[in-house]
Chains A and B, each alone.
Chain A
Amino acid sequence: MLAMNFRGPFRVRADRDKPYPEIKHPDDAIIRVTRSCICGSDLHLYHGLVPDTRVGMTFGHEFTGIVEETGPGVQKLKVGDHVIVPFNIACGTCAFCNQQLYGNCHESNPSATAVGGIFGYSHTAGGYDGGQAEYVRVPYADVGPVVIPEGMDLDDAVLLTDVTPTGYQAAEMGGIQQGDTVVVFGAGPIGCMAAKCAWLFGAGRVIVIDHLEYRLEFVREYAQCEAYNFKSMDDPVVFLKKATDWLGADVCIDAVGCEAEGSKLQTLVGRKLPLTGGSATALHWAINSVKKGGIVSIVGVYGPLDSLVPIGNVVNKGLTIRANQASVKRLLPKLIDHVMAGRLNPKGLVTHRIPLEEVSDAYHIFSKKLDGCIKPILIPPAARA
């Protein structure tokens, strides 16, 4: 079958000789992919920043598809169902799934205890092939996948697998109270969605910080918020203090993660060498820009090694830090309702629809931020017919 094939940092291609996936467990399903996104966090794999990313793997943790085959243990899902597949693989029965921590399942990833299984996200996240392919194996098929509601646009559906729940949970973890000032670092798809969702929790003011003008323009319109370019500031922390009556924001959200720009030192040790878990510039700014007693919410992805953050300021300012992979299954019912009611418009983030065969170009366009790219979707041949 046709599938994306990772060949090394900055090198991917679409190959036609990947074997079809097989049922490996009674609760598995095989899904024929109809839409698959490239996520900003796929770029961390693409750039070689995630340990144990093996050559030959297929990436892709944001996908929708039609059920082709089910294992003998699958009761709810039927062949022919068109489903949203959450990016995290969850068993539904372990202690963490029982707390609705579906992003922290203990029965889906043998390789690391710190992270649950994620489709197409290195062996550090379980070694599963992902959905940037014609077909994909989906474990625990009765737990995660949800049938796409009638009338829902397929582009909205595929963005409910990660971007929408991650952006929403970023705002939710911020504990936003009515009238709060919320600062979101990063105007990528997750940052745009987090800014949009902050209003749903009653934020009084939403500010987005990035360095790409086209993304700042985009988010101003998409999330009806203020947006500023940190490259035009002497110091973004001072700028934000001034903008918030010199006290700082109530809530800061890190929607950037390990490839943040803005600090030569962080870039050197976190991205170029890399000796740390990534460039933690956005998190550094978030900690220093938030009000004393405030909350920092982290959804940006970092590597497993230590990162350079001003932990002393966390103590001295009495901050609460909340962070996690989104619990997609928990949030889906609410978010489907928001999308169907028009309160959220995930498909508005999509700027590029690219054939799966052109996956090399798609990664390059997204990685280099060419052609005004915000969110690219890959479409397999059968879904284009």
Chain B
Amino acid sequence: MKTSPEKYTHIKGWGIDADPENDPTYPIKKRTDEEQAGYSWERPAQQPIDIEVLHSNERPNVSATFGTSTPPAGLSGAIRRFAFKYSESSYGHWVPLVLADRIDVVQGIMADLLKGTVPNIFAEMGWKADLKHNKKGLITKVIVTAVVTTAVIAWLSRKNEPKKSLLRG
């Protein structure tokens, strides 16, 4: 930002070595001679805010445009609202958002089921491509899944057995 040298007459040597050519921010910050004093530009028209928009607390407003994909909803939405009480500089912002994303996955499956759609998770994960390009990987995945599933079922069954015998006793 331009400034007037008169303001600094009380500081001996102020600006004496200033070198506008020594600008390591080019081509990042300063590419043009445009000067901008703070948040003073003529803003574009505001997109009507007709959905819930969570905006960063590091800005005073909603940007002139915003995306309307997937507004916050359900439990994940409540967590996202909580997250936006904290700044982008805070773990209190990002960690709840990651948690909300994981909860959103469960909400997504429930929404599919409520619509009468059973999500084909294997197809969504692109396992068909493995059949064509990665048979070995697919076989490994199937075997690992089968072994883990069997182990879990066996473990659960074993845990139930003593309870049954206890009841009989």
Contacts and interface: CB of A to CB of B under 8 A. Distances in A.
Interface of A: 7-13, 24-28, 48, 51-58, 73, 89, 91, 93-95, 98-101, 106-114, 117, 123-124, 126-129, 139-140, 172-173, 303-305, 320, 322, 324, 330, 360-365, 367-368, 370-371
Interface string B99-143: 011101101110010000001110111111110111001000000
Contacts of A304: 88, 94
B67 interface: yes
B56 A13 contact: no
B163 to A, nearest CB: 35
A1 B80 CA distance: 28
Nearest to A118: B67
Given A12-B124, A54-B101, A107 B64 contact: yes
B108 A140 contact: no
Chain A CB within 10 A, most for which of B76, B104, B107: B104
B66 A51 contact: no
A126 B66 contact: yes
Given A53-B101, A54-B101, A127 B44 contact: no
Contacts of B83: 52
A240 to B, nearest CB: 24
Contact of B63 (A27, A107, A124): A107
B65 interface: yes
Interface in B4-30: 24, 27-30
A56 B128 contact: no
A194 to B, nearest CB: 15
A199 B51 CA distance: 48
B126 A361 contact: yes
Given A52-B101, A55-B107, A95 B41 contact: yes
Contacts of A370: 129-130, 133-134
Interface of A is mostly: loop
Nearest to B57: A113
A238 to B, nearest CB: 29
B160 interface: no
B165 interface: no
Nearest to A305: B94
Contacts, number: 199
B60 to A, nearest CB: 11
Contact of B70 (A12, A54, A111, A367): A54
Interface of B: 24, 27-32, 34, 36, 39, 41-45, 47-48, 53-56, 58-59, 61-70, 72, 76, 80, 83-84, 88, 91, 94, 97-98, 100-102, 104-105, 107-109, 112, 119-121, 123-130, 132-134, 137
A127 B67 contact: yes
Contact of B69 (A7, A109, A129, A322): A129
B133 A10 contact: no
A203 B64 CA distance: 42
Nearest to B36: A95
A52 B53 CA distance: 13
Given A8-B105, A26-B45, A55-B70, A364 B130 contact: yes
Contacts of A111: 54-56, 66, 84
B129 A127 contact: no
Contacts of B98: 51
A114 B88 contact: yes
B126 A365 contact: yes
7 contacts: A53-B101, A101-B29, A126-B66, A127-B66, A127-B67, A139-B65, A371-B133
B103 to A, nearest CB: 10
A99 B56 contact: no
B128 A110 contact: no
B62 A110 contact: yes
B28 A106 contact: no
A110 B101 contact: no
Which of B55, B72, B101, B105 counts the most A-chain CB atoms under 10 A from its CB? Answer: B101
A140 B125 contact: no
A331 B138 CA distance: 43
**Max chain B CB contacts within 10 Å: which of A13, A52, A124, A173?**
A52
A113 B69 contact: no
Contacts of A112: 56, 88
A123 B56 CA distance: 11
A172 B26 CA distance: 10
Contacts of A108: 63-66
Contacts of B63: 106-110, 117, 126
A28 B120 CA distance: 35
Nearest to A370: B133
B54, B69, B120, B132 interface centre (most CB from chain A within 10 Å): B69
Nearest to B73: A54
Contact of A365 (B30, B44, B129): B129
A140 B124 contact: no
B150 to A, nearest CB: 23
A27 B121 contact: no
A52 B80 contact: yes
Nearest to B121: A11
B123 A13 contact: yes
